Amino acid sequence: MADGSSSVFIGPDVANTPPADVPRPLTIAWFHCFSGIAGDMAMGSLIDAGADLAEVRNLCERLPVGGWALEAEPVMRTGIGGVKVHVLAQPSTVVRTAAHIAALVEEARLPDRVRRRALATFHALAVAEGRLHRRPPEQVHFHEVGGIDAIIDVVGTCAALELLGIDEIYASPVANGIGMVRSAHGLIPNPAPAVVELLKGAPTYSLDVALELTTPTGAALLSALATDWGPMPRMTIAASGFGAGTAELGDRPNLTQVVIGERDAALEAGQPVVLLEVNVDDVTGEQLAHTIAALLEAGAHDAWITPIIMKKGRPASTVSALADPSVAGQIATVLTRETGSFGVRGQTIERWPLSRLVEVVDVEGLPLRVKVGGGRIKVEHDDAALAARRTGLPLREIVARAEAAWRRRGTENPTEVPPYIHGEEHRHDHDHSHAGDDAPRAGQVGSESGNQAEHELIVPTPIRSTPEPGTSVDPEPDDDAG
């Protein structure tokens, strides 16, 4: 059992992380919440879409709690068939804390992604309730959502998602009711304060229905697990299902719909970047080289020079820099200051960085960094050149040995280095160069480079305590895509 510390929770940022061997394209699920969503409705929709009820029940039975049964029946709601889930539990006066529920989930030995998703859902509930009741999340006492039925609703939904192989979850705008509803604390506004707190940042709206259409459990599942909100994403549909609520809503079907399919392989939106350029015909080669270094130092993803012919047949150069929109202003300032140009032109474009891994291998007792990605291995030139000088071996021999060392080791013991978290901006307060992040276009000269990784792993530098004169600890730009 857990000791009650908040460390038992897993945050929503990792809840949907697919296993390393998940094939592409990913399988996604989109919840259409036109009449709201509750935990039993979410689970019912997934069972209607093909999740095996017996397997869902078997996974829930791993929880160290008894006195419940899980059943499902086909029902009709306004002419549409769906599945109504029933969690039958003995009445209990037990009030569980968030830490207690998290410990139950940890003890159950659920499949990893089921565990992470369930913990993320209860964590979202605990944070929302904690803000409302002014208490730390792990000390929150759950009432309705701490009952056996709510626990089974959450774990059962996460189990059904896993049985269907769902990698990412999306949701429509969420419908809510109006008026007042009764809770363990008495009458509260509808939607419940916890629902409003959980749906912060999500598109939502109210219907003229005096019933609780979206419950805290349903809102928590979406808050913790949804990757994005809006219309149904591009996909090739494989299955769909409807989960039914208890009440009849007149001419509105009291259902939550789920649509499941493979994410469309069409190119998705890339990472926005700003391309800034100046044309100059009166700058020396030394000044141009200094400008490139200054742009990279200022935080540009990449910088390069393209030879051009300007008016009157004058040979000239285009100095280009690729930068995050947040630093575009300072990059433009560097361009004009260092080149003397009277202006800068720019445009916002997109890029699609590929993932790469940076590891360290040992050659003749010296550490060499290798970049691995896109089916390639690339040894950092500066490291290899330094090792060649120190050992007297040819550079090509050092490179061959480093590549062989990585192949022997494989990926069993990767270097433990901190990854950038998805969605976090790449910081520019570090001491390594961005040269090599994005390749120049055909015909350009300057740094040859690969793409900056969206989940780049950075090995701390320097790798040697005393660099030799004229050497750099920064990775040199290269032509690899990893």
| pLDDT digit string, tens, across residues 167-207 | 999 999 999 999 988 876 678 899 999 999 999 999 999 99
Q: What is the pLDDT of residue 480?
A: 35
Residue 236 confidence (pLDDT): 93
The answer to whether domain 271-351 and domain 357-446 are alike in fold is: no
Better pLDDT: 13 or 148: 148
Is the CA virtual torsion 345, 350, 352, 357 positive or negative? positive
User: Exposed/middle/buried for 16, CB within 10 Å: 0-12, 13-18, 19+?
Assistant: buried
- pLDDT, tens only, 7-43: 344 444 456 665 554 445 789 999 999 999 999 999 9
Q: Whole-angstrom Cα distance, residue 217 to residue 183?
A: 14
* The pLDDT value given to residue 264: 75
Question: Of the ranges 14-28, 76-90, 236-250, which one carries the lowest mean pLDDT score?
Answer: 14-28
Token look-up 């009458």 returns: 187
Strand locations in 298-387, DSSP E?
302-309, 315-323, 345-351, 357-363, 366-373, 376-379
> Is the pLDDT confidence value at 330 over 60?
yes
Give the CA angle between residues 237, 239, 245 to the nearest 5°.
Answer: 125
DSSP-derived letter for residue 419 is: B
Alpha helices in 184-244, H assignment, sequence order = 193-198, 216-225
Task: Say if residue 382's pLDDT is above 70.
Answer: yes
**What percent of the chain is modeled with pLDDT above 90?**
59
Q: Angle formed by the axes of helices 216-225 and 112-133, to 10°?
A: 120
Beta-bridge partner residues of 395:
none
Q: Who has greater pLDDT, 223 or 92?
A: 223
Please answer whether residues 48 and 73 qualify as being in contact, where contact means their C-beta atoms are separated by less than 8 angstroms. Answer: no
What does the pLDDT read at residue 406?
86
Question: Six-digit token pair at 24?
Answer: 């592409």
Report the alpha-carbon distance of residue 38 to residue 69 in Å, rounded.
18
Q: What is residue 449's predicted lDDT score, i.e. its pLDDT?
A: 33
Whole-angstrom Cα distance, residue 379 to residue 381?
6
Per the omega criterion (within 30 degrees of 0), is the bond before 191 cis? yes
Domain ranges of the chain: 6-263, 271-351, 357-446
Reading the block at residue 355, the tokens are 């993932």
- pLDDT of amino acid 447: 34
| Percentage of the chain exceeding pLDDT 70 | 77
pLDDT of residue 184: 66
Which band of pLDDT confidence, cut at 50, 70 and 90, is reported for residue 153?
A: very high
- CA 53 to CA 160: how far, in whole Å? 8
Segments of 223-352 assigned E as strands: 226-229, 235-244, 255-263, 271-280, 302-309, 315-323, 345-351
CA distance 139 to 242: 35
Three-class secondary structure of residue 88 per DSSP: strand
Q: Which fold has domain 271-351?
A: Alpha-Beta Plaits (3.30.70)
Q: The CATH number of 357-446 is which of 3.10.20, 1.10.357, 2.30.30, 3.30.40?
A: 3.10.20
The strands making up 235-244's β-sheet, listed across from edge to edge, are 68-77, 80-89, 235-244, 255-263, 27-32, 168-171, 226-229
- Per-residue pLDDT, averaged over 362-366, amounts to 92
pLDDT for res 222: 97
pLDDT of residue 143: 53
- For the chain, give the mean pLDDT: 81
Confidence of residue 410 (pLDDT cuts 50, 70, 90): low
Q: Which amino acid is at 391?
A: T
* 431/449 Cα distance (integer angstroms): 19
Least confident range of 94-103, 229-238, 303-312: 94-103
Each residue of 247-279: pLDDT tens digit? Answer: 999 889 999 999 999 987 666 778 899 999 999
Give me the pLDDT at residue 95, please. Answer: 74
Query: Is 229:170 a contact under the CB 8 Å cutoff?
Result: yes
Give the pLDDT confidence score for residue 16 in this predicted structure.
64
